[in-house]
Structure formats: structure tokens, C-alpha cells
Amino acid sequence: MTDSKTSGIVAKSYAVHSVGDKFELFDVQRRVPRDDDIVIKILFCGICHSDIHQAKNEWHNSTYPMVPGHEITGVVEQIGSKVQKVQIGDHVGVGCLVDSCLDCRACKRDLEQHCPDSCITYNSTELDKKTPTYGGYSTYVIVRDHFVCKIPKNLPLDGAAPLLCAGITTYSPMRQHNVGQNTRMAVVGLGGLGHMAVKFGIALGAHVTVISTSESKRNDAMKLGAHAFVISKDPEQLKDLARSFQFILDTVSAKHDVQALVQLLDFEGTFCMVGAPSEPIDFSATTIIFNRPRITGSIIGGMKETQEMLDFCGKHNITSDIELIRATPETLKTAYDRTMKADVKYRFVVDIQNSFA
């Protein structure tokens, strides 16, 4: 770290420089901290499936060099003169957002993720629409205080990292749709998102059923505390569950039969998608006319709700189940390959401090 007061910080990072490139060491020149900035020494960063989509330009919007990573935890190393929410040494986290206008209708409703000018943590730009943002596979990040969350001291910072994306992505819709005591809910897919949804559901007092394509997930689901487990490919098992659930959270990003799942909703139940299959979703009109389901979706959460989620996790001792890795070009490639095969329980997290030694 150089003298940040005058020249900003050079953060050692891992970047890809083009589609199909492997990760290489890359120096990110972080900005000179502003009055409302928090300088964070990054300790851990989760690997989200969307990192892979963007590193490989699968969403056709990638700019390079790219330093992925939006599940960031670390320690406050320096604060701007106007920062009041944290002190040096505090445990903090940064998720998918690093700035927004804070003035639009969405921002005023604490829904910064829906601000038309929101700045994404990487593969995006700052509010000036020019300066590129670089993510958390990096030793330092400097973020406007509003977009930094406090992490309860009792939570380990490695398992807490995925809360900043996988956590809030599942927590927010559960709160939007009033999941609580005895809510009959189902979680579709038991991966990084799904396993967080199970933990939240249990903590909220819901009756949680996991719906998966794979019998091999049964034990895992039960270990996480799920009350029931169903194979989605067995029509008989699904038939028994017709009109069972008040809330279904669908975390699956692969193509799958949404209609069969919507039919498991009780009258006026809610089906919420947080995965994003690339193929169109389809179902018959009668499916939605006869049972008044609400089919909806959700994406991450606002800053206020993200802090609420972290405080909830602190209270209930909830973190992500992770596999910790030291980043090298090879370990990152392996982690990406295994994540694509859903061969991880349930998130890879990069041990940043031990990756750039």
C-alpha cells in the first residue's frame, strides 16, 4: 500500500485480460480516498457464478482487464473525514454495488440495486460513467461509505463473504414475501444460493422443502436443516405436492420446467426466481388463471436490507458453507471449472491475504 492520501492505493489483484484468458496478477490503481470513502483491506472474496459468466463474456457485456469479485469481506484500514458509520479495524463487507445516485425514486426507497445509475462492483464504471470498477480478487478496495456494510464480530469473515451476494439474493425475496413462522416454502436447487435460502428459512421458522434434480443432495439438504426433500424429476413426488407451498424460491440458472413448479403453489402463493436461465421461461395460461399464483423475481437487495440481513446472520450465526482457496491462476481455474459443474459445497472463497504474499 502506497500513501493513499496523495496517490491512491495500488492493490494487487487477479485479472483476466480477454475472453478465455487465464487469471494473471494485475495492479489496480485504487482512487484517492474521498471524504466519504472507506478504505478496506480485503481478507476474503467469494466466487459467484456470475463472476464466471462475466470473465467469459457470456453476458456479452464484458470489458477487460476485469478483476471479478463482489462477495468481499475485510477490515477498515482508513476512513474519510465524513465517515461516521465505521471505525478503523471494523469488519465490513461489500457486495454487488459500490455507488448509485442516492437521489432517484429507487434510491429513496432503499432499493439502490434498481437505480438506473447504480455502479456495479466490477465490469462497470463509477458514477462518472468512465472510470472502470475492479472487484474483490484484490488486496484493497475503496468504497463510498453508503455501500459498505458492517459485519457482526461473531461471524467468521471467510464464511461471511458469500452473504454479500448469495445471502442477500435469497434473504431479500424471503422478506419481501413475508416468509416467517410456519410458512410452507420450497427452495429449488441446492447450490450457493439454495443452501443460503434453506438456512434463512429455518432461522425464520418456515417449513422448508428442498426440490432438487439429484438424489445425492438429500443428505446435504437434511444436514442443513430442511424438513423435506423432493426430486423434481419424479412426477409422482411432485403430484403429491400440488398446491402445497405458499412460497417457492427458484435458484436454478439452468433450463428447467417452471410450470411444474408453479403448480406446486397453494392458492395465491408466490413463485420467485432469483436464478436467470438463458432460455425463455414458459407455462400455460391456465396455470396462472386457475390458482392466482404470483410469479415474480428478485435481484440482490438494497443497502439497508443487506445490513439487516447481515445483522440477522449475526444473531442466528449464519454464514455460507465454503471451500477456502489461495488464489493462483491454477486454483482460480479449478474453482471456476468446479463451480460450473456445481461441484462445491457451496461457495469457493478466496483467502486474499494468503494469495498475494
Q: Where along the sequence are the contacts to a second copy (CB under 8 A)?
A: 106, 111, 114, 176, 259, 267, 273-278, 280-286, 288-299
Task: Give the shortest CB-50-to-a second copy separation in angstroms.
Answer: 12
Q: Report the relative pairing of strands 37-47 and 72-79 from DSSP bridges.
A: antiparallel
Is the distance from CB of 39 to CB of 77 less than 8 angstroms? Answer: yes
Nearer to a second copy, 120 or 327 (CB): 120
C-alpha angle 108-114-120 in degrees, rounded to nearest 5: 110
Task: Give the shortest CB-242-to-a second copy separation in angstroms.
Answer: 12
Torsion angle defined by CA atoms of residues 296, 300, 306 and 311, in that order, rounded to the nearest 10 degrees: 70
Distance (Å, rounded) from C-alpha 79 to C-alpha 128? 22
Nearer to a second copy, 34 or 294 (CB): 294
Nearer to a second copy, 22 or 267 (CB): 267
Task: Give the shortest CB-85-to-a second copy separation in angstroms.
Answer: 27
Cell of 166: 448469495
Nearer to a second copy, 54 or 355 (CB): 54
Dihedral pair phi/psi, residue 56, rounded to 5°: -95, 5
Task: Give the shortest CB-105-to-a second copy separation in angstroms.
Answer: 8
Task: Give the shortest CB-27-to-a second copy separation in angstroms.
Answer: 34
Nearer to a second copy, 2 or 284 (CB): 284
Task: Give the shortest CB-79-to-a second copy separation in angstroms.
Answer: 33
Nearer to a second copy, 29 or 267 (CB): 267
Q: Report the relative pairing of strands 228-231 and 91-94 from DSSP bridges.
A: unpaired
Side-chain-side CA neighbours of residue 313 (13 Å) = 34
Distance (Å, rounded) from C-alpha 16 to C-alpha 299? 26
Chain Cα centroid distance, residue 27: 25
